[in-house]
Amino acid sequence: MWDHKVKVILPFLVYLIQNGSALSRIDPLVDSKVGLIRGLRAPDGDYSMFMGIPYGTVDKSNPFGPSSPHPSFDEIFEAYDDSAICPQVEEFNRTVVGTLDCLHLNIYAPNSANSRNRLPVLVWIYGGGFSIGFSGRFLYGPRYFIEQDIILVTLNYRLGPYGFMCLDIPKIPGNQGLKDQLLALKWIKDNIEAFGGDADKITIFGESAGGASVDLHLRFNQEKLFDKVIMQSGTALLPRAVTEPDTTAPLKLAAHLGFKTADTGAALEFLATVDTTLVIASSSELGLDFRPCVETDPEIIDKFIYDHPLNMKPDLRNMPIIIGHNSDEALANYDSMSSEDFSKLNVFYDNLARNFNFGNEELVEMEKFVRHYYIGDQKISEDVKQGIINFHSDFSYNYPAVRTVKKYLDNGARNIYLYVFAYDGDRNFVKARLNITTPGVTHADEIGYLFDISYMENPTPEDQLIIDRITTLWANFVKFGNPTPQTNELLPVQWPAVTEEALNYLYIDSELKVEKRIYKSRMAFWDLFYKLNEKSQKLYVESSK
C-alpha cells in the first residue's frame, strides 16, 4: 500500500519542484457579466493573460455599418489567442490580412489584482492612420506596465473602409471604428471588476490616430467610461483627423471590382458579398483614404461626431490629461528621400491646400509666408531637410498638441501635463524598423519604451532607465492623476501642470527637465497664422454651414 502511495506522490512532488506551487500553475478563470473566461498564466512575469475576448460582432450583411455587443458565453471562453487582426494592409510585409471577426480585446492583470485589491486600468488604442493596427503582443507586450502594478487592456477596432466609410446615412453613418472602441470601453467598464480592476479608475491612452481617438472620446463621449486620458502625438485637431467624407467610395470600390453601378445601395450590397481581402486591396490600389467624419443626418440615432471638434466645448474641470509629442515627428518622412524626390516636393503648398479654403492668390501668398519662415529664400531641396522636417512636425503634430492644450485650458481643465519625448536609443520603434540612423526622435518612436515589443532584444541599461521612467510616469498618472506625486531617484523632478501663464512641459530624455513653451517662436508663428486664417479652415467653414 505504501509503495503505491510513493509511486503516486513522487511524480507529483517532482512536478511541484519543477513548476512551482500547484496553485500558480492553475490557469485563471473569472466569472464576468458575460460568462466564464479562462486565461493563461504569463510565462514572463506574475500576471495573467486573457486574450482575444470578443466584445463586438459585425453584421455580415452590412459589414461597413455599426457593430453590436457580442452575446454572452454559454460555455467557458478560452481566452488564449491574441492574433485577431481587422482587415488591412499590414505595415510589416505590406500584405493584405485580417477578418471581420476581429473585435477582440486583451486583458493583462497582475496576480495581485483581486476583489480586495482592485487595480487601476490602462486601456490602449493603437495608431496607424485609421487604416492599420492591431492589439496583440507582437507589438504591445504588457510586461513593462504590469511591473507597475496596473491592469493593461489592448483592443482592436475596424479600420479603412470597414471602420471609417462615411456615407452619413443611418445604415453607414461613419466612424464605425470609433463606435467599436466605444463598445469595447463599455465592455471594460462593465466587466473589468471580474479581473480585479477598478471600474472607477480607467485611463484611456493612444498614439497618433489612437491619440486622436482618445481626444474624440474626450470631446464627444457623454458616458462616464474613463476618468483620465493620455494622448501621444495625436489629437482631434491633427490635420485630417476629421475629414469630409467621400460618399462615392462604394461606387468606386464596386467598379474597381467589376460591378459598375450608379446606385450606392446596390454597390454596398455587392461589396458585402466580396471577400474583405479584395475590398482592402482595392481601397489601397485606388488610394482611398477613410477617416473620422462629422455625422449630420438627423435620422442617425447613435451619432458619435455630431460637430467638428473645433466647435466642441466639453467640461473638463475634473479630467486629468497627459498630452505630448516626439522631438522630430516627421523625421522618418524625409530621412531616406533622394535629391530627386526633394525636387518634386511641394510640401508647404500641398498641406495648406488640403487644410484651408484659400483662393488661388491667397494660397500662393500664404505658402510663401510659411515657406519663408521655415527655409527662407531657398528652394526646397535636401539642403533644407531640417526646415522641412520642422514644418511638417509643427503643422501635423506639435502645434495641434499646443492648440489642444490651450482649448482645454479654456474649457476648465487644470490638470494638463505636457511633454516632449526626445530620447534616442536602441528601442526607438520606427527608427529601428526603418534602419534610420539620423539623430532625432520620430513619430511613434516612444512605443518601444512603453511596450515589450516581441522582436526587440533585451534593453540596454540606458534604455531600461527610460522604460522605467516613462512607464512609472504613466502609471503614477493612472493611479493618482499626477505623474510625479513625489520625487525620487528615478523621477528626480516634479512635472508641473500647464497653466495659462506658463506652458510648462517635461522634456523626456536621458535626463528629465522641466521647460516652458515648446518651440516658442515656431508655436507663436502658428498662433498668429491660425488667428489670421481661422475662418479659412476647411472644416471650420463646413461645420458652421
How far apart (Å, rounded) are the C-alpha atoms in residues 12 and 17?
A: 9
Q: Which residues contact 161 (CB under 8 A, 6 or more apart)?
A: 64, 249, 253, 279, 280, 283, 288, 290
- The 3-state DSSP class for residue 228 equals strand
How far apart (Å, rounded) are the C-alpha atoms in residues 453 and 98?
A: 21
| φ, ψ dihedrals at 259, nearest 5° | -120, 95
CA-nearest of 415, 411, 414 to 315 is: 411
Cβ density class 81-94: b for 16+ within 10 Å, e for less: ebebbbbbbbeeee
Do 417 and 497 contact (CB within 8 A), yes or no? yes
Do 176 and 182 contact (CB within 8 A), yes or no? no
Q: In this structure, what C-alpha cell is assigned to residue 71?
A: 452575446
Q: 167-170 long-range CB contacts below 8 Å, 24 or more apart?
A: 167/245, 167/247, 167/250, 167/264, 168/245, 168/247, 168/293, 168/295, 168/296, 168/297, 168/300, 169/297, 169/299, 169/300, 170/297, 170/299, 170/300, 170/301
Residue among 48, 131, 135, 208 flagged as catalytic: 208
Q: Which residues contact 117 (CB under 8 A, 6 or more apart)?
A: 196
- Tell the residue number behind the cell numbers 466609410, with chain if given: 165
Do 418 and 518 contact (CB within 8 A), yes or no? yes
**Widest CA span of the chain, in angstroms?**
101
DSSP secondary structure letter of residue 304: S
Q: Which residues contact 7 (CB under 8 A, 6 or more apart)?
A: none
For 134, what's the count of Cα atoms within 13 Å in the CB-facing half-sphere?
Answer: 23
- The 3-state DSSP class for residue 445 equals coil
Distance of CA 112 to the CA centre of its chain: 28
- Name the H helices within 192-305: 209-220, 249-256, 264-273, 276-286
Active site residue 115: no
DSSP secondary structure letter of residue 509: S
Do 103 and 55 contact (CB within 8 A), yes or no? yes
How far apart (Å, rounded) are the C-alpha atoms in residues 401 and 522?
A: 13
How far apart (Å, rounded) are the C-alpha atoms in residues 45 and 259?
A: 53
Catalytic annotation, residues? 208
